Amino acid sequence: MDFIAAHADLIIAVVQALFAVAMAPTVIRQWQARSSTVPLPSSLLTFGGLATFVAVYISLGLWYAAGIVAVTAVIWGLVAMQRFVYGQARDVPCWDCGRCGITFYSAICGNCRREERIGTAGQPRTGY
């Protein structure tokens, strides 16, 4: 336990960096699709909680953790902004899965889990 206590700043920073990296695809996909699947209350609550952690970590002198948590809070703020700007995900079919032949309302096939990049007006994006 002494090791963990001695390196708490670095441990928290590394874990939070992994959380930040894990959120990047969500921000990118929502930007590409111009729609949001993350509920606004969830993203705002997460943003607020992370901002609180930043204040606590600063008060404890955990500067690396505070910096990385601030980055993660900004990412969640972007997710909340996307929901506010783009609104809820479209309720129109986005694409037909080439493997299953089923029409889906999201970017991931619920049957075979194939992922599709969707564009405007429910048309698959091309040129990638």
Tokens 């705002």 sit at which residue? 44
pTM of the model: 0.66
Which CATH code, of 3.40.50, 3.30.200, 2.60.120, 1.20.1280, is assigned to 2-89?
1.20.1280
| pLDDT band at residue 115 under the 50/70/90 scheme | low
Inform me whether the pLDDT recorded for 18 exceeds 50.
yes
Tokens representing residue 99 in the block: 């493997």
| pLDDT band at residue 100 under the 50/70/90 scheme | low
What pLDDT shows up at residue 121? 44
What pLDDT shows up at residue 126? 47
Mean pLDDT across the chain, nearest whole number? Answer: 78
Nearest one of 19, 9, 11, 15 to 60, comparing CA atoms: 9
Higher pLDDT, 36 or 41: 41
Alpha helices in 34-62 (DSSP H): 40-59
| pLDDT band at residue 35 under the 50/70/90 scheme | confident
% the chain with pLDDT above 90: 45
Nearest one of 22, 9, 78 to 47, comparing CA atoms: 78
What pLDDT shows up at residue 93? 45
| pLDDT band at residue 97 under the 50/70/90 scheme | low
Domain ranges of the chain: 2-89, 90-128
